[in-house]
Amino acid sequence: MINRKKLPDAEFEVMNEIWNNASPITTNVLMKKLGKQKEWKVQTLISMLNRLIKKGFLHSEKNGKERTYVPLVKKEDYLKYETENFIKRYHENSIVNLVNTLYSNKKLKEQDIDELSTLLKEWRD
């Protein structure tokens, strides 16, 4: 990953929209998808896109009157980074602590136990 920084929620929403659409994506398309929903003005979106460029998450090019954006960081890479950081910060870098937190006072379903068991066996091999 180019830049290991946690994205603020609004910037993550922009990146998520970019990741979930065909690349390259234009400012107009992003505005149609996020502008009304988030009640953002065009300048707000452009400011976030410029911050994402500076952080190394996006590449931008001007094509005529329209600006296009291409992700430089894969969604999977960013989610992996965020998840690892979360487990390290809040759960002492322990998956067991994470699972205990999620399921304390709750009963795991048999299917969940089977899936976890299969996953652990795969990781071991």
- CB-CB neighbours of 75 under 10 Å: 13
Q: Name residues whose C-beta falls within 8 Å of residue 91's C-beta, 6 or more positions apart in sequence.
A: 97, 98, 101
- Give the pLDDT band of residue 113 (cuts 50, 70, 90): confident
* Strand spans (E) along 1-125: 25-26, 58-63, 66-71
Tell me, what DSSP letter sits at residue 7? P
- Give the pLDDT band of residue 16 (cuts 50, 70, 90): very high
Q: Tell me the torsion sign for CA atoms 6, 11, 12, 18.
A: negative
pLDDT tens digits along 28-66? 999 999 988 899 999 999 999 999 999 999 999 998 999
In this prediction the pTM is 0.80
pLDDT tens digits along 60-111? 999 899 999 999 999 999 999 999 989 999 988 888 888 888 877 777 788 9
